[in-house]
Structure 1
C-alpha cells in the first residue's frame, strides 16, 4: 500500500503540472495552445498503468510460488476497506469533473483512482477466498481479473491520447449534427462545406465555409457568422471556431 500510495502521488503530481501547462493560453510559438501536453501525459500514464497491471500479476505469481500471504486477514480487510472508500469517493468526484471539463488529464486521474478501488476490492476478495477455501490459487485468479480491468482502462486512455496526438476530429455523427446546427442557424445559410475539426484535450478546433443566399453585405454576413460561432460555443464552450462565408454556389 505504501508503494502504491507513493506512485499515486507521483502520477497526481504529473497530472497537476500537465493540466497547468495545458491550460496556458496560446502564445507566439504555440498558436493553437498547449492542449497536447494533456495528450502526452495521458500517453505516458497509459503505458505506466499497463506496467502496473503486469506488476499485479507478477506479485501474485511470486506470492503463489513462495507461499507468502497476509496472515492477519481481519486487520488487512479493515485497512483496505477504509482505503477503498476514500478512493471510491475521489474517483466519483473526478469522474464528474472530467465529464464537465472533457479533460483527458482529469479522466486519467479518475481512471487511476478507479483502478485503485478495483484493486482494493480484488485484494479483499482474494483474502476472503484464500482464507475460506485455503487455496492460494484464488489470489492469482483475482489478480488476473484485476489486471484485465487495469489493461482495459489503460488501453482506453492510450487510444484517446494517440488519437489526439494524431489530430483526431469529431465523429461522423457529431459532424453531421454540427452541419445540421449550422444550416438551421439562419435561412440565408444554404450550404456548408470544408467542415473540419480537431480535438485536443478539452479543446475543439473547428473551421468551415458557409454559403450565403442573396446579396448580403459584409456587415450582415459578419454578424451572422459571429452569432453562429456563439451558438456553436453554446454547445461546445471550449471550441475555437473559424468560419469563412461565400456567396451561394461558390
Structure 2
C-alpha cells in the first residue's frame, strides 16, 4: 500500500464508495427493465444482486466515512473496524440474495418458464459489463492506495457481477436461440452458489479484522526483517500485530544493550519507529524496551525472533 496522507486515503475511499453507488443505480434501472422484458431467472438474479449491491454500497460509504474519523477519547484506536462491520452487513445481504435466487431457480427448473426478448437482455448485460469493468478498475486503484476492507468487499460484489452478466447472456442465448429450456434456471442456481461462496470469503476476512487476527506470516517476516537491520536491536519478542480497517497496529518487546541510558533508549525507539513508518506507512507502533539477556517467566531468553540473529 502506498504511503498517503489520512485525508487522501479517506477521500479515495469515499470516492470509490460514491462511484459504486452511482454504478449500482444505473444497473438496477437497466436490469429492472430487462427482467420485466425477458422474464429470465438469471436476469432477475442479476437484478437482485445489483439491488443489494446498491444497499451494500450505501453501507460501504457509511463504513468508510466512520472509519476515517480520527481517534477520540472513546475510541483510542480509531474507528477502523467500522469497515469490517460494513463488510459483515454486505455479507448478510449477499446471503439473502443467494438464497432467494437459488429458490427461484429451483422452482423454475421444476415448473419451467420460457424467457423472452433475448436481444434486450443481452444488450443490458453488455452495458452492465462495461460499467462494472470501469468501476472495478477504479476500486482496485483505491484498494492499492488505501487497503480499505469495505472497498475490497464491495469489489468482490462487482467481480461477481461480471460473471453474473456473462451468465445472463449465456442463459438467454442457450434458452432462446439454442432451445435449451433448462439453461436459464440452471444458470440462476449457479449464480446463487457463486454469491454464497463470495459471501463466505468476504465474511472470513471481515471476521479476521474484528477478531484482531495476526498479520500473514510474510508481512510479519518483512516487519522483523526491518528490525533486524538496526545494529542496536539485540532481539525482539512478544510481537503482536493486528489490522483495523486501513490501519495497522503492532506492539513488541525490544532487547537493547543493558548499559544504555533511558535517554539513549528513548532515542533508539524513536529511530526504530521512524524506520518502521517508512516501510509500513501509517502503522502505529508500541515498543517496550528490555535489557539484553532478560529471561521471561518460562526461563527462556526471548530474543530469537529476529532473522539471522541465531547465536
Q: Give the TM-score of the pair, scaled to structure 2.
A: 0.74
Question: For residue 157 of structure 1, what is the aligned residue in structure 2?
Answer: 202
| 1:143 positional shift | 2.3
Question: For residue 19 of structure 2, what is the aligned residue in structure 1?
Answer: none
**CA distance in structure 2 between the partners assigned to 1:172 and 1:74 by the alignment:** 50
Cα RMSD for the two superposed structures:
1.9
Within 5 Å, give how 1:53-72 maps onto structure 2: 53-72=98-117
Contact conserved, 2:258 with 2:292, CA < 8 A, in 1?
yes
Contact conserved, 2:241 with 2:248, CA < 8 A, in 1?
yes
**CA distance in structure 1 between the partners assigned to 2:68 and 2:261 by the alignment:** 38
| 1:223 positional shift | 2.2
Q: Does 1:179 align with 2:224?
A: yes
Within 5 Å, give how 1:23-42 maps onto structure 2: 23-42=68-87
- How many residues matched? 249
Contact conserved, 1:36 with 1:201, CA < 8 A, in 2?
yes
Aligned partner of residue 189 in structure 1, secondary structure: coil
Question: For residue 220 of structure 1, what is the aligned residue in structure 2?
Answer: 264
Aligned partner of residue 184 in structure 2, secondary structure: helix
**CA distance in structure 2 between the partners assigned to 1:26 and 1:193 by the alignment:** 28
Aligned partner of residue 248 in structure 2, secondary structure: strand
Which of 259, 274, 281 is the matching residue for 1:237?
Answer: 281
| 1:214 positional shift | 5.3
**CA distance in structure 1 between the partners assigned to 2:278 and 2:187 by the alignment:** 46
| 1:66 positional shift | 4.8
| Cα distance change of structure 1 residues 69 and 228 upon mapping to structure 2, 3 Å threshold | farther
| Cα distance change of structure 1 residues 140 and 68 upon mapping to structure 2, 3 Å threshold | closer
Aligned partner of residue 245 in structure 1, secondary structure: strand
| 1:35 positional shift | 1.2
CA offsets 1:27-73 (integer angstroms, 9 cap, x no match):
11111111111111111211211221222222323444454343111
Contact conserved, 1:92 with 1:110, CA < 8 A, in 2?
no
Question: For residue 126 of structure 2, what is the aligned residue in structure 1?
Answer: 81
**CA distance in structure 1 between the partners assigned to 2:190 and 2:108 by the alignment:** 16
**CA distance in structure 1 between the partners assigned to 2:114 and 2:153 by the alignment:** 31
Question: For residue 92 of structure 2, what is the aligned residue in structure 1?
Answer: 47
Question: For residue 147 of structure 2, what is the aligned residue in structure 1?
Answer: 102
Question: For residue 199 of structure 1, what is the aligned residue in structure 2?
Answer: 243
**CA distance in structure 1 between the partners assigned to 2:53 and 2:240 by the alignment:** 38
Aligned partner of residue 199 in structure 1, secondary structure: strand
More deviation, 110-119/211-220 = 211-220
Question: For residue 252 of structure 2, what is the aligned residue in structure 1?
Answer: 208
Contact conserved, 2:56 with 2:89, CA < 8 A, in 1?
no
Question: For residue 65 of structure 2, what is the aligned residue in structure 1?
Answer: 20
Question: For residue 177 of structure 2, what is the aligned residue in structure 1?
Answer: 132
**CA distance in structure 1 between the partners assigned to 2:243 and 2:97 by the alignment:** 28
| 1:229 positional shift | 1.3
